[in-house]
Amino acid sequence: MTLNSQSDELQKLELLVRELTTRVYRLERAAGIESVSGVAQPENLTSSSPPPPPPPRLTHSTPISHAQVRRASSVAETADRSLESRIGSHWLNRIGIAAVLIGVSYFLKFAFDNNWIGPAGRVTIGLLAGIAVVVWSERFRNRGYTIFSYSLKAVGIGVLYLSLWAAFHVYILIPSGVAFMAMLIVTAATATLAITQDAQILAVFALTGGFATPVLLSTGQNKELELFSYVVLLDLATLTLLAIKPWRRLLLLSYLGTLLLYVGWYSTFYDRTQLRLTLGFATLFFAIFAIAPLVARQSENAVPVAGRAPALHGISFSYKLMLFLVFINAGVYFLQVYGMFEDVNRNAVAWFALGLAAVYIFLSRQMRVRYPDPAAAKTLHLLHLALAIAFITIAIPIRLDAHWITIGWLVEAVVLFWIGDRIHSDFLSAFAIGAVILGVARLLFIDNFYSTRLILNARMATHAVAIAALAIMAWQGYKRHDETGGKAAAIAVVALNLLALIALSREVADYYAQQMANVRPLL
């Protein structure tokens, strides 16, 4: 072998090593691995300059695992999953299983119509099929087809409930107690699967089946104690589940189920003789959902409200849901009590509203102290405080009459102004302004006074209370020493003077109108 041929082969080997080094470098960059310091970057192979010194030894480079290479090469594929892939992996599977179920259903219907299979056999087939589908779904879950496995579980669980309903209601094979216990077992088993598999959708299935059980087993009889005791147990189970898992959306389902069953029973069976028991259960339902924000577990991955946008659209859906349920629970409970007591004792409704105000003042403090997210705690605290003020405002017209309603709202405004000034709360001051507006509007457009005295009468006293409330609002605005406070104070002063002018004008006009009426008979 000549010297020239050996030199050519050596040059080819150097070029091959350089090319391999370049490929390794590219793979390292694709996998996100930094090169070891001191390793030279590959140069452009198309350079016409003489070959550089041999590349560094590759034994000092960071090794690349096969998993890293596969992950780097599959990033684009994962990000760009095609529509065809999604249709094939999800929708076609669901359509296929639906087609199979429809086909089997038609076959069973044909067999049932021709009496090939008796009632007991039909129910047995349904129960076995439901259990088989649930067990079969685990095979798909273990292979990574989680969504499809949940769809199969929904079908299997639904078949179990319907089979038990048919055994009790259609074929009368089992008594209601046996059917109830069997459905309760299905509900408990589904809830257990939800916890063990950390699947909120399975908890939704369990709650749906749980609240559907009284409807499926209904006999048309009034069984208030049994029905609402079962609903209380379901709500407590939901509360327990929320303490374990951060599944706040279950609150909405549980509340809707409770409300629908309550309204359905109330519209059909309620009468005054059942007031105490019904009020007791309504109060239990209210209490369970009132303490839910304190019990519900916060998600570990949740972003604190303080770290989000301050607007309501910047917070999570589960947190919005919590605020919504706090508001709806208070309103629905008060309407329940009002409906039961309106024709029995109207004054009791007013005292009940004041009692609810005290409850929400207590809850507002608990939210501020015990809720884990400080910003969310402040929002919940203010919402509960607002509800307390609202119930006080509602109690005034229920308990009082005529101008005393106006005076009650104005006194409430003065108290809110004073508290807001003491604790430097613009929130309470805003509600105080709202109470003043309510009082002044009622004074000017609704209250109807008839007095024979000038100045020293009920109308002038009511105007004096309104003027005092506006004066306090102006004083608080001036104390703020800012533009907003100055504008509010100026508006309050103008309103104060206008109200005083209106009050004096009415007094003078009414006084002389009465004097003229007394003089006319003498003419």
Looking at the predicted structure, is the pLDDT value of residue 53 above 60?
Answer: no
Looking at the predicted structure, is the pLDDT value of residue 37 above 50?
Answer: no
Least confident of 2-16, 154-168, 171-185, 228-242: 2-16
Residue 482 pLDDT grade (very low, low, confident, very high; cuts 50, 70, 90)? confident
Pick the residue with more confidence: 216 or 520?
A: 216
Least confident of 47-51, 86-90, 369-373: 47-51
Q: Where are the domains of the chain?
A: 3-73, 109-219, 226-399, 403-523
Pick the residue with more confidence: 37 or 33?
A: 33
Looking at the predicted structure, is the pLDDT value of residue 73 above 90?
Answer: no
Looking at the predicted structure, is the pLDDT value of residue 101 above 80?
Answer: no
Least confident of 50-54, 150-154, 278-282: 50-54
Instruction: Give the up-direction half-sphere exposure of residue 205: CA atoms within 13 A in the CB hemisphere.
Output: 28
Q: What secondary structure does DSSP assign to 136-174, as a single string?
A: HHHHHHHTT-HHHHHHHHHHHHHHHHHHHHIIIIIS--S
Looking at the predicted structure, is the pLDDT value of residue 358 above 90?
Answer: yes
Residue 83 pLDDT grade (very low, low, confident, very high; cuts 50, 70, 90)? low
Task: Name the token pair of 69.
Answer: 């290479």
Q: What are phi and psi of 228, to 5 degrees?
A: -75, -25
Do 180 and 133 contact (CB within 8 A), yes or no?
no
Looking at the predicted structure, is the pLDDT value of residue 80 above 60?
Answer: no
Torsion 357-359-360-366 (CA) sign: positive
Least confident of 261-275, 307-321, 365-379: 307-321
Do 54 and 17 contact (CB within 8 A), yes or no?
yes
Do 158 and 186 contact (CB within 8 A), yes or no?
no
Looking at the predicted structure, is the pLDDT value of residue 93 above 70?
Answer: no
- Predicted local confidence at residue 314, as pLDDT: 45
Please enumerate in sequence order all residues whose Cβ is within 8 A of that of 45, keeping only pairs 6 or more positions apart, or say none. Answer: 15, 18, 19, 22
Task: Name the token pair of 24.
Answer: 């390794």
CB under 8 Å, gap of 24 or more: what pairs does 162-166 form?
162/126, 163/123, 163/126, 163/127, 163/130, 164/123, 164/127, 164/216, 165/216, 165/217, 166/122, 166/123, 166/126
Say what percent of the chain tops pLDDT 70.
80
Q: Stretch 271-293: mean pLDDT, rounded? A: 95
Looking at the predicted structure, is the pLDDT value of residue 17 above 90?
Answer: no
- Predicted local confidence at residue 493, as pLDDT: 93
Looking at the predicted structure, is the pLDDT value of residue 423 above 50?
Answer: yes
Looking at the predicted structure, is the pLDDT value of residue 31 above 90?
Answer: no
Say what percent of the chain tops pLDDT 90.
40
- Predicted local confidence at residue 62, as pLDDT: 47
Looking at the predicted structure, is the pLDDT value of residue 4 above 70?
Answer: no
Residues 183-205 have pLDDT tens digits of 999 999 999 999 999 999 999 99
Q: pTM of the full predicted structure?
A: 0.69
Tell me 302's DSSP state.
P
- Predicted local confidence at residue 88, as pLDDT: 61
Residue 308 pLDDT grade (very low, low, confident, very high; cuts 50, 70, 90)? very low
Q: Stretch 304-309: mean pLDDT, rounded? A: 45
Residue 218 pLDDT grade (very low, low, confident, very high; cuts 50, 70, 90)? very high
For the chain, the average pLDDT equals 81
Q: Stretch 474-484: mean pLDDT, rounded? A: 82
